[in-house]
């Protein structure tokens, strides 16, 4: 099935129904009636999208085109299939996602994959704040799955993350891995300020040196096997990984000592 | 104004000795009357149970601590939206619902009165403002006076006359309904020094030449001397500590035969040694209350699932924070009180939580007089008020209770008598512990009953063997004579009334208070007292002896 945004919304659209799960088995006209919210007004999907074809049963592919930067909640709770977005998307992409794959050729706004528990999200461009994060007030964020961002990401990547992998090809802003419970964040560029603040367990890997908080302590320079496995995996997914990262040494800092002190920040040391 | 007939319903009205009799009820102008014309609007309640509206004697539903608890738990609200229905207001639910939702959800359960149990005088204005946005139910609040520096100073100097006048002034200034004691004497030392508290009634309170017992005795006496409709409402010292039942018994003895209400007594009925696992002393506590008619209590049942600890007992919250290691709020209310808030979850597999659950049920079932051991979960401390239907089923259905008991920590259950108790409460007893009892303890003679002259707060449930389903949603709710829930659907929005007391006091006491305020308060003395414009629709409840006479007249 293909969706094309034919009218740019004046205020954000909330379109949880744009996911293979909700569109599976529907005809064009049935899909056009699915409810979405334009601001606080409930309208049919067809009022903003031109719909063609059906979701094929084996692959479950849905393609979406147009400037979707004002369309929120695409792929919400999606459990299977493949969502291909040509262009940029709005906030809460793949929120609470359980399985399947989302591929975005442009940029994504804030809250990519918040509280996801499975599946994979790939963003070719940049992402906003709160990638793979817990919602405000909640202590647990991503429970599983993978988020791959080829560009940069802003603040609080992996806030409260509990399991899974987040990889960022460029740099991240402040508080990467804040309050992390477990899981892995790999940043091929530089971390912003105060990485891993309040982290309990988990690993943050970065390829450029950043100052750590005073509650983190340096303990060794090592060559952990798991980084090699992760980097090979990311290379397979199309990220450009230099050989020296795969074969290099990493400085290990442990923290946050305000919490369990069982987390680690690993920074490439040549 | 409005008239209404409710016919063919099975009525439970313990105050008027009606136990499940088919009886017609007539309503005119918000009150129950002898009769109305045959052609009046009629609810045919065939096959249904008719009860007075529920009365919650102890809950936390308004004021700044409740509001802070709402604000710091967004994760709890977002999965429970209260959508707008007709002209009603939207809101959020969860363990600490928003103001409008609180009113609607109490009404959905068939409750029409609820008393906010802990308000420092300084937040009285805020509490009253939230009351205006808490629809349908009638309400009032209890004002915290047991950790008040000025009152403590009067007490330590033995200036009892001025103490009495000052308490009366504070009740007027805050528009409260009753006097509340929380961890008497313990908060003030704790605010001064880490881990400082009191654990014995005769221990000297650091910073004062005073003991908790003196504070407790003085406030019990003032409540009785002023003739307040509801006696001193006491949250005893040592809440939640193993072995605290001794403190609870000691507190009850301090009343020396005068009226006193011990609240969420479940949290104060533990044996064992301090720092070790608690055991149940429910039998000892129930036994004492059975033999002392001056004492009333509400249980403060713990229900498994999410809760929010919300209390003036700041040292207790610190203790719990060191167990959860999660977010919490601690606040210092100037010279008046402390405050602590933290999200909490009671889990069946945890020994202490399962024991607390069982102790609460034991207290209900071992008490001989349901009029004096009434229902509460200390909402939201032991669980949300939305657990009441389940709690009622636990009390009415022994098989269900034993089944539930078998699912939780068995070591805890084995340390209680719960499985040996065969008692199942009757519908009449439920009507007492949720309606007639709390209303009588509060001195609200027009509530909790369906006699002629009573407030027309009436709930009608479909008869159902599964009492949880039955009490989960009233089919009809009549509030002050107007139908609010009509065949399970909300009708137009309603305001509730505010209940408060206004005991006489000597205005000369203000001259004693003013200099203290100028030295130590952030609020000017002249701006402190809440004026009548905050009351809206309200009733000033007269001193108890007068009401007692009236009550006798209306019952004969």
Nearest Cα residue to B65 out of B9, B24, B117: B117
The domain locations on chain A are 110-268
Instruction: Look at residue A221 and give its three-state secondary structure.
Output: strand
- The tens digit of pLDDT for each residue in A172-212 reads 999 999 999 999 999 999 999 999 999 999 999 999 999 99
CA A104 – CA A122 distance, rounded (Å): 6
Chain A CB contacts of B75 under 8 Å are 135-138
Considering the domain boundaries, does residue B239 fall inside one?
Answer: yes
Taking a C-beta distance cutoff of 8 angstroms, is the pair B140, B87 a contact? no
Say what the pTM is: 0.90
* pLDDT, average across residues A47-74: 94
Number of domains in chain B: 1
Residue A217 has pLDDT above 70, yes or no: yes
Instruction: Look at residue A17 and give its three-state secondary structure.
Output: coil
% of chain A exceeding 90 in pLDDT: 96
In this structure, how many other beta carbons lie within 10 angstroms of the beta carbon of residue B354? Answer: 26
Instruction: Look at residue A123 and give its three-state secondary structure.
Output: strand
- Pairing of β B270-271 and β B279-280: antiparallel
How near does any CA of chain A get to the CA of B65, in Å?
17
Instruction: Look at residue B283 and give its three-state secondary structure.
Output: helix
Instruction: Give the pair of three-digit tokens for residue B245.
Output: 């039942």
Cβ within 8 Å, pair A137-B74: yes
Cβ within 8 Å, pair A135-B326: no
Taking a C-beta distance cutoff of 8 angstroms, is the pair B22, B429 a contact? no
Chain A CB contacts of B72 under 8 Å are 137
Give the number of A-B residue pairs with CB atoms closer than 8 Å: 12
* pLDDT, average across residues A8-17: 95
CA A206 – CA A209 distance, rounded (Å): 7
Cα dist. A95→A20, A63, B399 in Å?
14, 18, 43
* pLDDT, average across residues A114-132: 97
Considering the domain boundaries, does residue B191 fall inside one?
Answer: yes
CA B380 – CA B93 distance, rounded (Å): 12
Buried b or exposed e, range B226-259, using 16+ CB within 10 angstroms = bbbbbbbbbbbbbbbbbbbbbbbbbbbebbeebb
Taking a C-beta distance cutoff of 8 angstroms, is the pair A131, A152 a contact? no
How near does any CA of chain A get to the CA of B326, in Å?
9
The ipTM assigned to this model is 0.79
Considering the domain boundaries, does residue B506 fall inside one?
Answer: no
Chain B CB contacts of A258 under 8 Å are none
Residue B79 touches partner A, C-beta closer than 8 Å: no
Instruction: Look at residue A13 and give its three-state secondary structure.
Output: strand
Chain A CB contacts of B326 under 8 Å are 139
Residue A137 touches partner B, C-beta closer than 8 Å: yes
* The predicted structure's pLDDT at residue B325: 86
For B73, name the nearest residue in chain A, comparing CA atoms only. Answer: A137
CA B143 – CA B128 distance, rounded (Å): 12
Cβ within 8 Å, pair B326-A139: yes
Taking a C-beta distance cutoff of 8 angstroms, is the pair A51, A45 a contact? yes
B539 backbone φψ class: left, alpha, beta (φ>0; ψ -120 to 50): beta
* The predicted structure's pLDDT at residue A270: 87
CA A176 – CA A188 distance, rounded (Å): 13
Chain B CB contacts of A137 under 8 Å are 72-76
Tell me the H-state helices in B204-244. 212-225
The string of DSSP codes covering B510-526 is HHHHHHHHHHH-SS-HH
Considering the domain boundaries, does residue B29 fall inside one?
Answer: no
Question: Which residues sit opposite B275 in a β-bridge?
Answer: none
% of chain A exceeding 70 in pLDDT: 100
Q: Which residue range(s) make up the domain with B325? A: 49-441+448-498
How near does any CA of chain B get to the CA of A259, in Å?
9
Instruction: Look at residue B406 and give its three-state secondary structure.
Output: helix
Considering the domain boundaries, does residue B344 fall inside one?
Answer: yes
- Pairing of β B337-346 and β B329-333: antiparallel
Whose tokens are 């045959």? That residue is B38
* The predicted structure's pLDDT at residue B243: 95
* The predicted structure's pLDDT at residue B543: 78
Whose tokens are 């009757």? That residue is B426
Tens place of pLDDT for every residue, chain B, 556 residues? Answer: 589 999 999 999 999 999 999 999 999 999 999 999 999 999 999 999 999 999 999 999 999 999 999 999 999 998 899 999 888 999 999 999 999 999 999 999 999 999 999 999 999 999 999 999 999 999 999 999 999 999 999 999 999 999 999 999 999 999 999 999 999 999 988 888 878 899 999 999 998 999 999 999 999 999 999 999 999 999 999 999 999 999 999 999 999 999 999 999 999 999 999 889 999 999 999 999 999 999 999 999 999 999 999 999 999 999 999 988 889 999 888 999 989 999 999 999 999 999 999 999 999 999 999 999 999 999 999 999 999 999 999 999 999 999 999 999 999 999 999 999 999 999 999 999 999 999 999 999 999 999 999 999 999 999 999 999 999 999 999 999 999 999 999 998 899 999 999 999 999 999 999 999 999 999 999 999 999 999 999 999 987 654 444 444 443 3
Question: Which residues sit opposite B295 in a β-bridge?
Answer: B260
How near does any CA of chain A get to the CA of B328, in Å?
11
Whose tokens are 């939305």? That residue is B386
CA B212 – CA B237 distance, rounded (Å): 9
* pLDDT, average across residues A82-91: 96
CATH value at residue B322: 3.20.20
Average pLDDT, chain A: 95
* pLDDT, average across residues A115-144: 95
Chain B CB contacts of A136 under 8 Å are 74-75
CA A226 – CA A208 distance, rounded (Å): 18
CA B336 – CA A86 distance, rounded (Å): 61
Most B-contacting residue of A137, A141, A198, A258 (CB-CB within 10 A), to test interface: A137
Taking a C-beta distance cutoff of 8 angstroms, is the pair B70, B63 a contact? no
CA B380 – CA B362 distance, rounded (Å): 21
């Amino acid at each position: 099935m293909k969706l094309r945004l034919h009218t740019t919304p004046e205020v954000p659209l909330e379109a949880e129904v744009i996911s293979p799960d909700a569109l599976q088995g529907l005809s064009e006209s049935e899909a056009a009636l699915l409810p979405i919210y334009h601001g606080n007004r409930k309208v049919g999907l067809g009022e903003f999208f031109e719909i063609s074809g059906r979701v094929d049963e084996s692959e479950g592919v849905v393609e979406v085109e147009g400037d979707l930067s004002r369309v929120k909640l695409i792929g919400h709770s999606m459990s299977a299939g493949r969502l291909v977005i040509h262009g940029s998307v709005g906030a809460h992409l793949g929120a609470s996602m359980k399985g399947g794959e989302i591929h975005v050729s442009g940029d994504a706004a804030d809250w990519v994959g918040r509280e996801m528990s499975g599946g994979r999200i790939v963003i070719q461009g940049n992402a906003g704040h709160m990638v793979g994060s817990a919602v405000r007030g909640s202590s647990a964020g991503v429970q599983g799955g993978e988020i791959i961002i080829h560009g940069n990401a802003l603040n609080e990547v992996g806030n409260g993350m509990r399991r899974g992998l987040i990889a960022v090809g460029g740099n991240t802003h402040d508080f990467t891995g804040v309050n992390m419970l477990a899981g892995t964040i790999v940043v091929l560029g530089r971390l912003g300020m105060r990485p891993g603040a309040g982290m309990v367990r988990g690993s943050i890997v970065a390829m450029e040196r950043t100052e750590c908080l005073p509650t983190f302590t340096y303990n060794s320079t090592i060559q952990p096997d798991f980084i090699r496995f992760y980097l090979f995996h990311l290379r397979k997914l199309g990220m450009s990984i230099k050989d020296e990262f795969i074969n290099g040494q990493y400085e290990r800092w442990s923290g946050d000592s305000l919490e369990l002190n069982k987390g680690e920040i690993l920074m490439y040391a040549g | 104004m409005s008239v209404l007939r409710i016919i063919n319903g099975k009525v439970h009205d313990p105050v008027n000795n009606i136990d499940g009799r088919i009886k017609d009820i007539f309503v005119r102008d918000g009150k129950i009357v002898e009769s109305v014309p045959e052609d009046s609007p009629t609810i045919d309640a065939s096959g249904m149970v008719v009860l007075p509206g529920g009365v919650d004697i102890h809950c936390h539903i308004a004021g700044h601590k409740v509001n802070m608890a709402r604000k710091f738990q967004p994760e709890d609200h977002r999965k429970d939206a209260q959508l707008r229905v007709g002209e009603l207001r939207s809101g959020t639910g969860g363990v600490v619902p928003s103001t409008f939702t609180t009113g609607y959800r109490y009404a959905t359960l068939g409750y029409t009165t609820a008393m906010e149990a802990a308000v420092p005088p300084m937040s009285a204005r805020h509490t009253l403002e939230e009351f205006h946005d808490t629809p349908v139910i009638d309400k009032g609040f209890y004002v915290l006076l047991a950790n008040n520096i000025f009152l403590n100073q009067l007490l330590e100097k033995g200036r009892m006359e001025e103490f009495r006048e000052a308490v009366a002034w504070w009740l007027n200034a805050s528009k409260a309904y009753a006097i509340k004691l929380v961890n008497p004497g313990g908060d003030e030392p704790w605010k001064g020094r880490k881990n400082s508290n009191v654990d014995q009634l005769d221990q000297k309170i650091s910073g004062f030449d005073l003991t908790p017992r003196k504070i407790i005795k003085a406030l019990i006496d003032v409540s009785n001397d002023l003739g307040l409709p509801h006696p001193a409402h006491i949250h005893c010292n040592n809440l939640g500590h193993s072995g605290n039942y001794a403190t609870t018994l000691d507190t009850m003895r301090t009343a020396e035969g005068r009226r006193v209400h011990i609240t969420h007594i479940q949290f104060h009925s533990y044996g064992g040694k301090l720092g070790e696992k608690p055991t149940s002393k429910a039998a000892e506590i129930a036994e004492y209350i059975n033999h002392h008619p001056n004492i009333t209590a509400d249980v403060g049942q713990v229900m498994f699932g999410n809760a929010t600890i919300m209390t003036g007992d700041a040292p207790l919250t610190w203790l719990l924070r060191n167990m959860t290691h999660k977010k919490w709020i601690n606040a210092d209310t100037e010279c008046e009180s402390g405050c602590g808030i933290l999200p909490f979850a009671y889990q069946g597999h945890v020994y202490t939580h399962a024991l607390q659950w069982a102790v609460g049920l034991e207290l209900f079932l071992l008490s001989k007089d349901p009029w004096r051991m009434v229902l509460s979960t200390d909402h939201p401390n032991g669980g949300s008020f939305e657990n009441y239907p389940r709690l009622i089923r636990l009390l009415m259905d022994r098989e269900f209770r034993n089944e539930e008991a078998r699912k939780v920590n068995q070591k805890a259950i084995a340390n209680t008598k719960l499985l040996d108790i065969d008692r199942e409460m009757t519908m009449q007893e439920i009507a007492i512990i949720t309606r007639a009892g709390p209303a009588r303890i509060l001195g609200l003679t027009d509530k909790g009953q369906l006699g002629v002259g009573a407030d027309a707060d009436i709930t009608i449930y479909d008869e159902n063997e599964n009492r949880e389903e039955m009490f989960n949603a009233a089919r009809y709710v009549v509030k002050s004579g107007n139908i609010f829930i009509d065949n399970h659907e909300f009708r137009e929005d309603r305001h509730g009334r505010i209940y408060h007391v206004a005991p006489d006091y000597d205005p000369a006491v203000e001259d004693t208070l003013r200099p203290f305020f100028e030295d130590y308060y952030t609020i000017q003395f002249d701006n402190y007292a809440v004026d009548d414009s905050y009351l809206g629709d309200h009733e000033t409840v007269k001193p108890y002896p007068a009401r007692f006479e009236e009550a006798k007249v209306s019952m004969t």
